[in-house]
Amino acid sequence: MRTAFLLLGAQRSGTSVTSHMLSKFGIDFGDSKNFLQADHNPIFFELKWINQYNDRLLRHLGYKYIDPVLPTEADYDKPQLIEMSRELPTLIQYEWPDASKIGIKDPRISLTFPIWQQALSAQGYSLKIIFVFRHPGDFLRSNQRLFQNWTGWDETRHLHFWLRLTLAALYFTRDYPICFVNYDDMMADPLAVAQRFAETFDFDEAQVNPAAAVVDRAQHHHKQFAPTGHALIDHYYDRLCSHQLSGADYLSYRRWCANPDQQTEVNLRSLA
């Protein structure tokens, strides 16, 4: 049985360092020559073709990745998307012809998961979901600093981008066991996180220390533990930390977004 480890969650949440840790346990993230290059991360672990493929999927839905798209499985039943989905098994086989344990990292998969689930399952992969998250206030500062040229993006829009990717990932993977990784916990005690990976996924215990050693605490630039001040975001983050979020929360958020005249940051009763 082959295994695919999917790293999901919002960008700027620690998915790169989590991927680096997993690579020490023998997870193959593809040809490193084809990783996206980013000055802010020593190794990005994100394949260019996967970004491009997911962007094409989203364009067929009529959106860009940074648009407020909130898809469901039914959206991927369109003929153009079904046709595109037939390409994916070949792309996966080309990238990983012999690997028994592969890793796939791209925050877009939080939105395009149904296509990947179908393709990987059809090729005999067992799916393991790793959801990486951090405080939305930390995400806000990191995302703002990296993407200063996102014209028209105020604080609220950045935070809802975090929320959209978070809820979508949990909605689409609702039928799978999820391994949650809190970036702040990883920075505080990388050895404990590496040990948990070994125990959860039956990895080689001898690799726990090398996996923990990849964590550079100097990369933990943004630390916030106080609420963001955005009631809706803080509401969902509290539920995330207590593992109370579910697919129903995503559907509630979709309904909330579809009724702009009724939206307020403090009107949470219908979403709880």
Average pLDDT over residues 186-201: 96
Q: What is the DSSP string of 219-258?
A: G------S--S-HHHHHHHHHHHTT---HHHHHHHHHHHT
Map out the domains of the chain as residue ranges.
Answer: 2-262
pLDDT digits (tens, 9 = 90+) for 140-190: 887 777 666 677 788 888 899 999 999 999 999 999 999 999 999 999 999
Residue 217 has pLDDT above 90, yes or no: no
CA 172 to CA 96: how far, in whole Å?
A: 24
| pLDDT above 70 as % of the chain | 89
Indicate whether 221 pLDDT > 70. no
Inform me whether the pLDDT recorded for 106 exceeds 50. yes
Give kind and range of the element (H or E) at residue 173.
none
DSSP per-residue string spanning 72-85:
-GGGGGSHHHHHHH
Which tokens hold the place of 125?
Answer: 């992969």
Predicted TM-score of the model (pTM): 0.91
The pLDDT of residue 229 is: 87
Q: Does the domain formed by 2-262 have CATH 3.30.2450?
A: no
Q: What is the mean pLDDT of residues 228-232?
A: 88
pLDDT, tens digit (0-9, with 9 covering 90-100), for 107-149: 999 999 999 999 999 999 999 999 999 999 888 887 777 666 6
Q: pLDDT at residue 49 above 70?
A: yes
Please provide the average confidence, as pLDDT, over all residues in the chain.
89
Would you say residue 271 has pLDDT above 70? no
Mean pLDDT on 210-218: 89
What pLDDT is attached to residue 266? 46
Whole-number pLDDT of residue 222: 52
Rounded to 5°, angle at Cα 141 from 70 and 238:
60
**CA geometry: angle at 44 spanning 186 and 217, to 5°?**
30
- Of the two residues 111 and 257, the one the predictor is more confident about is 111
SS3 104: strand
Cα 258 from chain centroid?
23
Per DSSP, 125 falls in state E
- The answer to whether residue 74 scores a pLDDT higher than 70 is yes
Token pair 């390409």 is found at 87
What interhelical angle do 136-146 and 231-241 show, nearest 10? 120
